[in-house]
Amino acid sequence: MDTKGAVRINTWKIEAREIQEQLIKWRRWCHQHPGIGFDVEETADYIAAHLREWGVEVERGIGKSGVVGIIRGAWPGPVIGIRADMDALPIQEENEHPYVSKTPGKMHACGHDGHIAMGLGAAMLLARRRQELSGTVVLIFQPGEEGWHGAKAMIDDGVLVRHQVEAVVACHLGTLSPELALGQVGLTYGPIMAAVNVFEAWVTGREGHGAMPHNTIDPVVISAEIITAWQRILTREISPLYPAVLTVGQIHGGQTHNIIPAEVYLQGTIRYFHHEAGATLKTRLEEVMSGICSAWKGKYRLTFDQGYPPVVNDPQFTRFFNGIATSLVGEENVKVLEYPLMVSEDVSYFLQEVPGTFFLLGAGNPAADYPHHHSRFGFDESILWLGTALLAATAWQYTAEKIY
């Protein structure tokens, strides 16, 4: 990176540090006012009001309840998107700090309140410098990340095409990766989070008394055999170079100890990074289930939800981002992750459409802190300025030197 670029990077660090208290204030307000799925209007109003305060052009109701801010530079140039998700989770908060959720049964238990604050911080800093900006920065505040396909809804509403977005950068803070200490940046040059599908299955037999099992078709025994056989798909039919997970999380069947039920219900998840592994899992789950049910005279039904695709970082953009992050935090604090994560994120939809990078920001101690989606989840707010600086500097530098 040239000297001019290095000076600008240092400027973002200084200016982001200067608004750290404001970032904390925004984060805590959002934490107190959580919304679930697409029901995030209070948060959307808050975001839109701040954007308008800084003279940022605002679009509302994109992807049902998303907010888009458009910062148009004084000079022509490329367009980059900064994405921040803004929904919470249906969890009753058990923390005791002074800014706990004001809504029973709803909580920011994954860090999206921090993402909102960093997105607002980047918007404020970039808006201040719009007269020096070449190109356009599109701030994408997205609802419905937690299983609602909010990213796809915003894309279907034209957020990328309408603004001719050419790249996207996004962040997830917290303790997701045990490889990252506080303030360290984690990235990959390919998959960073897994695809996920939820499956539901029903095994139907013939009900009867447990004392006379020969008169029944036992769906409990059939289900047990299916679950065991499914696990062999992972170890014998998918290459060990293609990581994959198959988890059965629910089994329901029967009402009492001595009656063999008519049906058993199963629910679980498959996760993978490579489409070949996903295709094998979906095909073979059904083939194995069909074969076992046929052998024992049972019937079955198996369905998969739409799921999220894997989150795959663009190598060229990630090399560019690595340079930005290294300038801000030092080479020793930028980690190319040895292991991608088996959790999922719908930022994957954006990265399917345009190149970009989804990076992790260490915001706590993975070994000691409560995990994401826990009723006592929290993160170290001291890194909010850093996430803001990373987003703002990446957007600025991309519009200045477009890497494609």
pLDDT tens for 86-134 read 999 999 999 999 999 999 999 999 999 999 999 999 999 999 999 999 9
Q: Which residues contact 339 (CB under 8 A, 6 or more apart)?
A: 177, 179
- The whole-model pTM stands at 0.91
- Reported as a pLDDT band with limits 50, 70 and 90, residue 313 is very high
For domain 196-304, which CATH number applies: 3.30.70.360, 3.40.50.2000, 3.40.718.10, 3.40.50.920?
Answer: 3.30.70.360
Say what percent of the chain tops pLDDT 70: 98
Helix (H, G, I), strand (E, B) or coil at 106: coil
Coil, strand or helix at 86 = coil
Q: What are the φ/ψ torsions at residue 249 (nearest 5 degrees)?
A: -100, -15
Identify the helix (H) or strand (E) that includes residue 53: helix 41-53
Q: Which of 145, 314, 345, 346 is catalytic?
A: 145
Whole-angstrom distance, CA of residue 404 vs CA of residue 68: 24
Q: Find how far residue 30's CA is from the centre of its chain.
A: 18
Question: In this predicted model, what pLDDT tens digit does every residue of 281-295 receive, in sequence order?
Answer: 999 999 999 999 999
* Of the candidate ranges 150-154, 178-182, 365-369, the one whose mean pLDDT is the lowest: 365-369
Residue given tokens 């915003």 in the structure block: 154
Judge whether 51 and 86 are in contact, CB under 8 Å. no
Kindly list the distances between the CA atom of residue 353 and the CA atoms of 7, 109, 311, in Å, as whole numbers in the listed order: 32, 28, 12
**Residue 1 pLDDT greater than 90, yes or no:** no
**What pairing do the DSSP bridges indicate for beta strands 134-142 and 75-85?**
parallel
Mean pLDDT to the nearest integer, 207-228: 96
Q: Minimal CA–CA distance to 346: which of 83, 79, 109, 139?
A: 83
66 CB neighbour count, 10 Å cutoff: 26
Q: Judge contact between 207 and 263, C-beta under 8 A.
A: no
Overall average pLDDT of the 164-169 stretch: 98
Q: 3-class DSSP state for residue 8?
A: helix
User: Which secondary-structure segment (H or E) carries 113?
Assistant: helix 112-128
What pLDDT was estimated at residue 6? 47
Domain boundaries along the sequence of the chain = 3-194+310-401, 196-304
How would you label 128-164 residue by residue, b for 16+ Cβ within 10 Å and e otherwise? ebbeebbbbbbbbbbbbbbbbbbbbbbbebebbeebe
345 given a catalytic annotation: no
Q: Where are the alpha helices (DSSP H) in 210-363?
A: 219-236, 275-295, 315-329, 347-353
b/e for 322-341, b at 16 or more Cβ within 10 A?
Answer: bbbbbbbbeeebbbebeebb
CATH topology assigned to domain 3-194+310-401: Aminopeptidase (3.40.630)
| 280-314 per-residue burial string, b: 16 or more CB within 10 A, e: under 16 | bbbebbbebbeebbeebebbbebebeebbbbbbbb
Give me the catalytic one of 87, 93, 113, 314.
Answer: 87
d(CA 68, CA 159): 8
What average pLDDT does the segment 53-64 reach? Answer: 97
Please report where in the chains the tokens 């990252």 appear, as a residue: 180
| Cα distances (Å, whole numbers) of residue 330 to 185, 201, 239, 333, 363 | 10, 50, 37, 6, 17
Matching CATH topology for 3-194+310-401 and 196-304? no
* 166 tagged catalytic: no
Q: How far apart are the first and last CA of the chain?
A: 16
